[in-house]
Chains A and B, each alone.
Chain A
Amino acid sequence: MSAGGLPVLEAHGLSLTYADGPRRVEAVRDASLVVARGESVGIVGPSGSGKSSLLFLLGGLRRPDAGEVRLLGRPLAPEPEANAALRRRHVGFLFQEPFLVPYLSVRENALAHVEGGQAADRLEALAAAVGMRDLLDERPWRLSGGQRQRAGLLRALAGDPDLVLADEPTAFLDQPAGEAVMDLLEAQRGRAALVVVTHDRGMLARASRVLALADGRLRPA
Chain B
Amino acid sequence: MAPAPLSARTYVLRNLRRVAPVLAIQALVTCLLVAAITPTNAFRATTEAYTASMQHMTIVTPRERPLLDSTLRAVLDQNPHQAAREPAKMFWIRTPMIVGEAWAPLLLLAPAAQADLLARTGCRLVEGRMPEPGSAGVVVHEAVLRARGWVLGSAFGEEVDRLDSTPGRFEVVGVLAGPARLALGDLQRASQQDSVYARQLPFEVVYARPGEEEDSDAWLAQARIPAGAGSPLGLPAGGLAFRVVDDDLVRARIEKAFVNLPLVLGFITAAVAVVVALVTALLDLLQFQARLDELALLLAVGHPRRRLMQKLAAEGLLVSLLGWALGLVLGLAVLAAYRALVLEPRGILMQLLDARPLLASLSVPLLATVVGALALRARIRRMDPVAVLQRRGA
Contacts and interface: CB of A to CB of B under 8 A. Distances in A.
Contacts of B393: 52, 95-97, 167-168
Nearest to B389: A95
B386 to A, nearest CB: 5
Interface in A78-103: 80-81, 83-89, 91, 93, 95-97, 99-103
A196 to B, nearest CB: 15
Interface stretch (A107-115, A117-125, A175-183): A107-115
B70 interface: no
A163 B273 CA distance: 49
A91 B393 CA distance: 19
A88 B297 contact: no
Contacts of B302: 83-89, 91, 113
A95 B386 CA distance: 11
Contact of B303 (A61, A97, A104, A113): A113
Most B CB within 10 A of own CB, among A83, A86, A96, A111:
A96
Interface stretch (B9-17, B148-156, B263-271, B362-370): B9-17
A17 B345 CA distance: 79
Interface size class of B (residues with CB under 8 A): 20 to 34
Contacts of A209: none
A93 B303 contact: no
Given A111-B5, A112-B5, A97 B389 contact: yes
Interface string A58-87: 010110000000000000000011011111
B297 to A, nearest CB: 4
B301 A155 contact: yes
A95 B296 CA distance: 12
Given A62-B386, A97-B392, A108-B5, A84 B304 contact: yes
B386 A61 contact: yes
Given A61-B386, A95-B389, A96-B393, A103 B301 contact: no
B293 interface: yes
Contact of A104 (B5, B301, B305, B386): B5
Contacts of B15: 103
B389 A103 contact: no
Given A56-B386, A88-B301, A89-B302, A103 B14 contact: yes
Nearest to B6: A112
A99 B392 contact: yes
Given A52-B393, A111-B5, A99 B304 contact: no
A88 B389 contact: no
Contacts of B11: 103
B304 A101 contact: no
B237 interface: no
Contacts of A87: 300-302
A88 B303 contact: yes
A88 B10 CA distance: 21
B390 interface: yes
Interface of A: 52-53, 56, 59, 61-62, 80-81, 83-89, 91, 93, 95-97, 99-104, 108-109, 111-113, 155, 167-168
Given A100-B297, A104-B10, 10 more contacts: A52-B390, A84-B305, A88-B303, A101-B297, A103-B15, A104-B5, A111-B5, A113-B298, A113-B303, A155-B301
14 contacts: A61-B385, A62-B386, A81-B304, A84-B304, A85-B302, A86-B302, A87-B301, A88-B303, A91-B302, A97-B393, A99-B293, A99-B392, A103-B14, A113-B301
Going nearest first, the 3 A-B pairs with the smallest beta carbon separation are A88-B302, A108-B5, A87-B302
